[in-house]
Amino acid sequence: MNKRKGFTLVESLVATAIFVLIAIGIFQAFISLSGLVQMSRLKSAAVALANEQLEVARNLPYSDVGIIDGYPVGKIPYQKTDTRSGANFIVTTTVRDIDDPFDGTIDGTPNDLNPADYKLVAVEITCPTCRNYQSVTLTTQVAPSGLETSSGNGALFVKVIDANGQAVIGAKVKVTNVLATTTMIIQDITNNTGLLPLVDLPPGNLAYRIEISKTGYSSARSNLNATVLAGQLTTLTLTIDKLSNLQVKTIDQYCQSTGPFSLHLRGTKYLDTDDTVLRYNHDLTVPASGLLNLSDLDWDTYNFTPNDSNWAIIGSFPLQSIFLPPGVTSEVKLLLAPTIGRGLLVSVRDGVTGLPLSAVFIKLEKPGETAQSQSTSHGFFRDTDWSGGNNIIDGGLEINNPAGEIKLKMILGNYVSSGYLISRVFDAGTASTTFYNLIWQPADQASSTNVRLQLATGDDPATTTWNFVGPDGTANTFYTISGDNINTRHNNQRYLRYKVYLSTENNLFTPNLSDIAITYSSECLPFGQVFFSGLSLANYNITAQKTGYQSYTGQVNISHDWQTLEITLNPQ
């Protein structure tokens, strides 16, 4: 009996997988080989085409070796399209007059007054639609049949550098003779030293407009057209550098994204010689996500102002403007708050280091108005009305009689002896916090009454056990003086509550509170800045004081809905 044994299902799957892997490998190898063959074919076609163009230049009369509507003037088109091997190639031809140093150079020793010794012809073949294609460039020299003769022309050397003064290689230079009766445009690139030497140019007063560009770089053009004089050299230096990106983020003082927000962003560079047309000057809108990405910006200093009736900029990271270096992605955070009348954003810098100064006491005042005072880099939590929210109140307090005031409850014409209130939860938006002072109003109470407070902090309002403590960090002490420093154990905590105790020794009197505030700083509050709102169109007196620094006294005129003032304090 013959027993035939077939493949199991597992064996069949393994064999199929091996076959598929081998087949894929063979197919990928075939694709790669086909690509190499195609690339080699395109390269050969490009080289042949470039050689053809060079042969055309070699066989032209010397006076015709030049660019149509360019310089040197000639009969060769600057750019054309040619189809070879099924591909559309772009042929770009550049012709330059060369000043050979064998007989001196223009403006050199000896001074060569006839600097056009011979011509350099460069042909570049590109194919934008060809995959993985690399451009081909071939060059040749074409010399005149006789001796050079005086042309009465001059020379223009264009130097292109970056923001650090380094040469920019391969920058595109476009030179236009704006006084020529016919079109005359020179298009070329800088060499390995960032220089494009143009010799034997027709003289002209303010005749040549120069424009510089390079992919991924900013652009530049000459503020004044260049002048070329007979037998003389004119040198012009222009600066370009890599483009940058800017992220604009809008947040509130609790680190929450805020938007939409309209603003105006402007740079400091100008396009024109009269400094009237800014290179960047745009109205923008940050979306509801609180993030706006701006790409391909020039390196520059950018200033931002609000352009929104609902929001005001009450601080920024960095201070009020941002320098955007070349070739980077930078971020600016704008701290927003609802608009309340006219506002003034004040920033304070150290006069030596230029860094923002925190804990600077700033006072703003004018006759007829209540003075406003704040400390830079400090924000605050504040309660002035306890009738709503998530406060916890025992039976001994009144919070709405009158509204906006805490006091002991009166029963049958007498105040109860004591009561307490636990506040709602305050969220700083980040655990990177520093708490400073606990302040309340009115600060002075009758001698027979008592106001005491304690604080509790935590990282999670849902799970935190609220342990209320006093200025020594224990539950045995209380804050009893308005303005007391808050114990450092609360720092680097995101959430905070306070507990206020009221008591009286005389049932005919009650303590009362109309305002409780906690000052703090965090990574979401701007350093060295304060914002004053609700201002009038008027002159205000302003003072700035910090221990160890000379005080500042000045006056600021409020003339806009939102404006800024920068103060510099020098160490004593």
**DSSP strand pairing (342-350 vs 361-365):** unpaired
- Are the beta carbons of 444 and 505 closer than 8 angstroms? no
**In CATH, 348-378+526-569 is 3.40.50:** no
- Dihedral of alpha carbons 265, 268, 269, 272, sign: positive
Predicted local confidence at residue 435, as pLDDT = 94
Bridge partners, 413 (sequence order): none
Give Cα separations from 308 to 246, 248, 284, 526 (angstroms): 20, 15, 10, 20
- Annotated domain spans of the chain: 45-142, 154-239, 244-339, 348-378+526-569, 381-522
What letter does residue 491 receive in the DSSP assignment?
T
Distance CA 555, CA 217 (A): 44
Three-state SS string over 231-271 comes to: CCEEEEEEECCECEEEEEEEECCCCCECCCEEEEEECCCEC
Predicted pLDDT of residue 34: 64
Among 195, 176, 315, CA closest to 258: 315
The closest of 79, 177, 64 to 119, measured between CA atoms, is 64
pLDDT at 126: 93
Chain centroid to Cα 45, Å, comes to 46
Query: In this predicted structure, what is the pLDDT of residue 7?
Result: 64
d(CA 140, CA 209): 28
Look-up: residue for tokens 């206020």? 500
Using the 8-state DSSP alphabet, how is residue 103 labeled? Answer: G
Residue range 244-339 in CATH 2.130.10.30: no
Cα radius of gyration (the chain) = 38
The token pair at 358 is 């925190």
Architecture of domain 154-239: Sandwich (2.60)
Question: pLDDT tens digit string along 399-415?
Answer: 988 888 999 999 999 99
- Report the pLDDT value the prediction gives residue 100, as an integer from 0 to 100: 82
Alpha-carbon span 148 to 116, nearest angstrom: 7
* Coil vs helix vs strand at 319: coil
Three-state secondary structure of 170-181:
CCEEEEEECCCC
The per-residue pLDDT for 160 is 96
- Among 296, 196, 287, 203, residue whose Cα is nearest residue 241: 296
> In the chain, which residues have pLDDT < 50?
1
pLDDT on residue 551:
96
Task: Identify whether the C-beta of residue 64 lies closer than 8 Å to the C-beta of residue 74.
Answer: yes
Question: Quick check: do 348-378+526-569 and 381-522 share a fold?
Answer: no
What does DSSP assign to residue 192? Answer: T
Residue 290 to residues 39, 60, 153, Cα–Cα distance (Å) = 47, 63, 59
Q: What is the pLDDT of residues 275-327, one digit of tens each?
A: 788 999 999 999 999 999 999 999 999 999 999 999 999 999 887 788 999 99
- CATH code for 381-522? 2.60.120
Look up residue 360 and give its two tokens.
């600077």
Token readout for 231 is 């037998």
Contact 336, 343 (CB under 8 A): no
Cβ neighbours, 10 Å, residue 112: 22
Task: Calculate the alpha carbon distances from 139 to 96, 118, 168, 290, 478 in Å.
Answer: 11, 13, 21, 53, 88
Residues whose CB is less than 8 angstroms from the CB of residue 312 and which lie 6 or more positions away in sequence, other chains included: 306, 336, 337, 338, 339, 340, 343, 531, 533, 562
Structure-token pair, residue 227? 């002048």
Handedness of CA 485, 420, 499, 471 (dihedral sign): positive
Phi, psi of 60 (to 5 degrees): -80, 155
The single residue listed with the structure tokens 């902090």 is: 457
pTM: 0.71
DSSP H or E stretch at residue 56:
helix 9-58
- Omega of the bond prior to 197 within 30 degrees of 0, cis? no
Q: How far apart are CA 35 and CA 28, in angstroms?
A: 10
For residue 193, the surrounding DSSP H or E stretch is none
User: Which two structure tokens, joined as six digits, stand for 336?
Assistant: 């927003």
Token reading at 142: 């074409």
Coil vs helix vs strand at 147: coil
Pick from 191, 180, 182, 131: nearest CA to 157: 191
Give whole-number Cα distances, 430 to 133, 159, 325, 333, 391, in Å.
52, 51, 29, 15, 22
